[in-house]
Structure 1
């Protein structure tokens, strides 16, 4: 068994939806699936370390035209002796001596083998919906930081626009959805000790949601362009979401996919809610777009 020694080359950051590829490795993946690793892919996988954006939908097309539906795609890793999939990857992404790979999961028994020349395709409508949701999520996070700026009584690390980074400091989880997102922020003791004031927040959620929506709406109306800057084409090469906002360019490290302009989002609505998580208050921000 030969395992890839280099990271998968990925083209989805540039917006690609299809890529000719060579199959490098095939192995059982449990639950009636096999994992297929190729040298290059246009298919966005889910990363177990931060599973915010789901995998693309699509297929592997064999040389004879047979289409193998891709049931899921996950980040995998190999040290040359074994391939570890998804949550079973034992090291941090980018660890020296390991190759980080995109594993496409297809039905067991599929007629695919190492050395096959295939085409990997991602479904355009599903990709665009997730890309719109992810772009809206980043824009809303910056607008959230702006709306909450006055609640900090101590200096805090700043975001891409130079404001206290509530999103980066308090975030517990993020889930990208078609044309939307759900972010959860823990309002715990450490956040309050850092200088964030939670007093009266529950009474202001409606107004805050309207303020955030209005801010994002201004950026949408300005047609702010969005691009992905990247250090390279390998799976673990650093990538950055960059938006040219009216107040300046904002750059956020991100491995997901995005639309090319905030104008593509249409109307963006942001709603906030306070919930309880085992005694800790959690602020939920739900974003919806008209894309």
Structure 2
């Protein structure tokens, strides 16, 4: 058995495949190839796609696509129950389609099925994910002068606040919520937390100015892949006025920043140890 071949990096919303596994207890259908993007079990920032699986007159609703893995001994593990990181040896890595209700007899091992992704949901999540990445880059740029020591840099050359402080990221339709820990270790690394708190409103304004300029540039956004399987590395790349940026990312994205009317953030520092950044994307009409 080979790892699932995926077409979502190319923007596919439909495809055909052969059913390889049906697990009624787990409500999981595994197919050899799929357009569905699954939620990652180790960094579940972007929810999995929803949609349907069809064979003949039988249609089965897919609530969410998830990561699945089958051990060399034949054991199926799904989502957070997978005991190893993606690509770990001794496992075959698959996309599981978690279904709503019982799986009908027509969707059985060996059946050829049609898979259809909910397009509106996918596009909204893609906008949310691209906006999340852009907001993190704008945040790094807006906080660059608050570092008293040299640290690693992000793809635009700004001090990498995102990489140092981010503790969680949750993408949703047309937006995201990111949390950053502003603790003792960050201060030891040279970050001026007190200066940040004193200038919070100005930093937010600066981030939104940067984002407005990037949206106006209507730059290209794309995913580069090293292979067709779910475990092959994927890189998000985007053309900005400052140059092209890129970093590893397993999610889905827009094709162009022209798909946005606007991207904006709000910063919440009610807890001085925790920055919450809420990103909101408005789709272009």
* TM-score of Structure 1 vs Structure 2, range by shorter chain: over 0.9
CA distance in 1 between partners of 2:203 and 2:239 (Å): 24
2:141 corresponds in structure 1 to 146
Does residue 1:43 correspond to 2:39, yes or no?
A: no
* Conserved? CA contact 1:206–1:271, under 8 Å: no
Unpaired segments of 5 or more residues in structure 2? none
Deviation at 1:46, TM superposition (A): 0.8
Q: Report what 1:125 is aligned to.
A: 120
SS of 2:208's equivalent? helix
TM-score (structure 1 length as normaliser): 0.93
**Relative to structure 1, is the Cα distance of residues 12 and 109 closer, same or farther in structure 2, using a 3 angstrom cutoff?**
closer
Task: Give the corresponding residue for 1:102.
Answer: 95
> Which deviates the most, 259-268 or 136-145?
259-268
Query: Using a 3 Å threshold, how does the CA distance of structure 1 residues 109 and 41 change in structure 2: closer, same or farther?
Result: closer
| Deviation, structure 1 residue 188 | 1.3
What is the aligned partner in structure 2 of residue 207 from structure 1?
A: 202
Tell me by how many angstroms 1:166 deviates.
Answer: 0.6
TM superposition shift of 1:275: 4.0
What residue ranges of structure 1 are gaps of 5+ in the alignment? none
In the TM superposition, residue 116 of structure 1 has moved relative to its aligned partner by 0.8
1:74-85 aligned within 5 A: 74-80=66-72, 81-85=74-78
TM-score (norm 2): 0.95
Q: 1:10 aligns with which of 6, 25, 42?
A: 6
For 2:270 and 2:38, how far apart are their aligned partners in 1? Answer: 30
| Alignment root-mean-square deviation, CA | 1.3
| Match among 174, 182, 204 for residue 179 of structure 1 | 174
Q: How big is each residue's C-alpha offset from its partner over 1:142-164, in whole Å with a ceiling of 9 and x where there is no partner?
A: 01000010111111111111111
Aligned partners of 2:146 and 2:181: how far apart in 1?
15
Q: Please, which moves more after superposition, 108-117 or 167-176? A: 108-117
- 1:182-234 deviations in whole A, cap 9, x for unaligned? 11111111111111110132232222122111101101111111010111111
Indicate if the aligned counterparts of 2:24 and 2:103 stay in contact, CA closer than 8 A. Answer: no
The CA deviation at 1:28 is 3.1
Deviation at 1:139, TM superposition (A): 0.6
Change (3 A) 1:29 1:151: farther
Q: 1:168 to 1:45 in 2, by over 3 A?
A: same
